[in-house]
Structure 1
Amino acid sequence: MYSIPFNRPFFTGNEWSYIQDAMKDGKLSGNGKYTEKCQQFFESKYGFGKTFLTHSCTQALEMAAILMGLGPGDEVILPSYSYVSTANAFALRGCTLVFADSRPDYPVIDETKLQDLISPRTKALVIVHYGGMACKMEMISKLVEENDIYLIEDAAAALDAYYQGEDEKKIPLGSMGHMATFSFHETKNIGCGEGGMLVVNDTSFHKKALEVWNRGTNRSAFEQGMHKAYEWVSLGSAFAPSEINAAWLWAQLEQLDNSQKKRGAIWNWYFENCHSLFRSFDVEKPIVPNYAQHNYHVFYLLCTDAAQRGDLINHLKSKGILSVFHYQCLHQSPYFQDQYKGKPLSQAEKYQNRLLRLPLYADFEKEKFERLLLE
């Protein structure tokens, strides 16, 4: 048991009352009052297209792959330094995965390396806004437009984060791709245990998205009296979460600004004090580019190598503090390594070997952390 865990879910105090309210309404399956409230919140606050709550960000990615009609022979470009869900959603459709390297300054896809990966079979590019920090979007947007491919923003950890373009306008992450996905897992800034969301910004997919979300049926149109029968019209699945999850999430959304304020104070404290806190370790601070307004989801350090990172993990563990390293490169994974035929991805491997995440959650106790380190 750790005195300071890596993560502790954020609670507002209203979660249980909203779940009870959903119980009183007698509607606990998906697509009820609280689902609608959450979806309208995202569409209104961030200007997203149609939004669809899902059981997870993993499911949201799988729903996106179905919507785009991806299948065998289609190539999908994605970063190697990412969670396995980013790849699984497209591998499950039989797509060919084309892994890209990371930027040298911070752990997002290197937009300068993408053109060489595009082929006549490329159908989609998936970018990951790592830890709520934006990818460099101008070149990415130009590439997908010039090559007529889909752009999916895997914004799992990027709720309430923004990109500031060359025109100085702040753009919410998740609003620039044809589709985007978010996670409401308990480790995220706000969550509902397990949960996610698909954002469909391309209006040509709106009707089909509703069918796919409803298990591939015309249920919504049928309930509105637009069809005489409730029929199977598309591939789909049971993507919608229960009203219990949506009610919990609504309580979290009401306190989003409060959670962000608390996390921001902790992130800034780490940034200002990390060299003095870890003076016996040669660590680098995270870099936040000037075009990225991040959401304080993750605070990481870069160690000199894997051995030093292991020493720092053990040092923190001895003080009762849990720290963790993050993704393992997907192109080197046991599942995919025999299939990978591309070039070495040196920057992705750098983050795999050197990046260390520190505890960060809304009620994190800075004074306790510092006291434990000094003991």
Structure 2
Amino acid sequence: MIPFNKPYLTGKEAHYMYDAVNTGKLSGNGKYTKKCQEYFEEKYGFRKTLLTTSCTDALEMCALLLDIKPGDEVIIPSYTFVSTALAFVRQGAKVIFADSEQNNPNLDVRKLESLITTKTKAIVPVHYAGVSVDMEPLMDLAEKYNLFIVEDAAQAIDSYYKGKPLGTIGHLSAFSFHETKNIISGEGGLLGINDKRFVERAETIWEKGTNRASFFRGEVNKYGWVDIGSSFLPSETTAAFLFAQLENLDDIQRKRISIWNSYSEKLKPLQGKISFPTIPSYATCNAHMFYLVCNSLNERDELIKTLKENNIHSVFHYLSLHKSPYYLKNFNERPKLIQSDRYTDTLLRLPLFYELKESEINHISKTILKFYSND
């Protein structure tokens, strides 16, 4: 069976983890945590970054930093993972769901203004498959209505919008290093901070509500409980694993993009029969995933079955959050989000990982071509 995903090891992970153990400090914010954070700040230009135990935790930190409270509204796409909503719902916010674009699962920025009210506090664009939401008009909306933008860049490492790295455009951002992502640490995440107003408080929240970081920099002579917070820091072994991956980012990206391009070329004969990922002129593709958009739920089910019979593991993706049991139980609104529901029923992700062989890409592509030749 060709798996959907296979975690890739560069060869240095165990070495750096052993080194982390030998430093005598395994808890967070040690040597490798600092190396990873410096990498992101220097390579991409973040004002400040903080490693977290997951992207979910990074999003929860965003909700705390924005002082999200009961009665606040936060606009997010319905076609996303539950963490995008959960981070803000836990603080008492009401999530307002936006629909996706017709040719892209990203939220449709053109339809957002009608969703904004006096209660709106933030908008959370999700860069689906690492392809950028149209950020310029989104930032214009934020300025017009005095809103915060939190980029859910879980899938978007090393991807760009008009030359700017994703995650560096909004006020805050969150990345994932889950084992299914381009760069991994098993579990893990990153908070990106681009607005100086949030830098100092982010460190406090990150350090369980204490000013511990200031103490170790010699800025205060003792530290204590000064704010809300939680245990958001990953261990040094997690950070050490991640640093080995970051050192090989360019190589990993070259290989993934090569696989993505190979799929695109081999499946080109199906253009017009099904839809493929659309990369807008303002965006780049970081090859996080290669997906198809089938014509119906039944067609997708049959294609998944055919691929499985040919030893290929393919998977669908998100279920529209506005139709989730939790939302239906706890919220009265019933928005009609046609595109989100369409992607829920028809989007199919193909295997894409560093060690995927060209012969396997050929087998997958030929199986899909044969499936549609029988229509």
Bin of the TM-score, shorter chain as denominator length: over 0.9
Return the match for 2:207 from 201, 209, 214. 214
| One of 265, 279, 289 as aligned partner of 2:258 | 265
Q: 1:33 aligns with which of 16, 31, 37?
A: 31
Percent identical pairs in the alignment equals: 49
Q: Distance in 2 between matches of 1:81 and 1:368?
A: 30
| Distance in structure 2 (CA, Å) of the matches to 1:134 and 1:8 | 25
1:244 is matched with 237
In structure 2, distance between residues paired with 1:252 and 1:343? 41
Q: Which of 44, 57, 60 is the matching residue for 1:59?
A: 57
Q: Is the 8 A contact 2:262 2:361 kept in 1?
A: no
1:130-178 Cα distance to aligned partner (Å, 9 max, x none): 01000011210100011001100000000000001xxxxx110000100
Q: Helix, strand or coil for the counterpart of 1:267? A: helix
> Which blocks of at least 5 consecutive residues in structure 2 are unaligned?
371-375
Number of matched residues? 366
Match for residue 167 of structure 1?
A: none
Deviation per CA, 1:229-285, whole angstroms, max 9, x where unpaired?
Answer: 321101100101000000000000000000000001100010111255x79x94222
Task: Report the equivalent of 1:359.
Answer: 351
Determine if contact 1:72/1:96 at 8 Å carries over to the other structure: yes
Once the 2 structures are TM-superposed, how far is the Cα of residue 54 of structure 1 from its aligned partner? 0.2
Deviation at 1:307, TM superposition (A): 0.3
Q: Report the counterpart of residue 302 of structure 1 in structure 2.
A: 293
Structure 1: unaligned runs, 5 residues or longer: 165-169
Q: Shift of the alpha carbon at 1:38?
A: 0.4
Q: Distance in 1 between matches of 2:102 and 2:85?
A: 22
In the alignment, what sits opposite 2:373?
none
Q: Does 1:7 align with 2:5?
A: yes
Question: What letter is aligned with 2:315?
Answer: V
Question: 1:290 maps to what in 2?
Answer: 281
Give TM-score scaled by structure 1 length: 0.95
Q: Where does residue 342 of structure 2 map in the other structure?
A: 350
Matched position secondary structure for 2:150: strand
**How far apart in 2 are the matches of 1:11 and 1:84?**
28
Please give the alpha-carbon distance, in whole angstroms, between the structure 1 residues aligned to 2:363 and 2:71: 56
* Displacement after TM superposition at 1:340 (Å): 4.5
Aligned mates of 2:229, 2:241 — CA distance in 1: 25
The one-letter code matched in structure 2 to 1:22 is: A
SS for the counterpart of 1:292 is coil
Amino acid paired to 2:310: K
Aligned position for 1:101: 99
Q: Secondary structure at the match of 2:106?
A: coil
- Structure 2 distance, partners of 1:178, 1:368, is 41
Corresponding residue for residue 311 of structure 1: 302
Residue aligned with 1:34, SS: helix
- Contact map agreement 2:78 2:320 (CA 8 A) in 1: yes
Alignment partners' CA distance in 2, 1:368 and 1:327:
26
Q: Aligned pair 1:195/2:188, yes or no?
A: yes
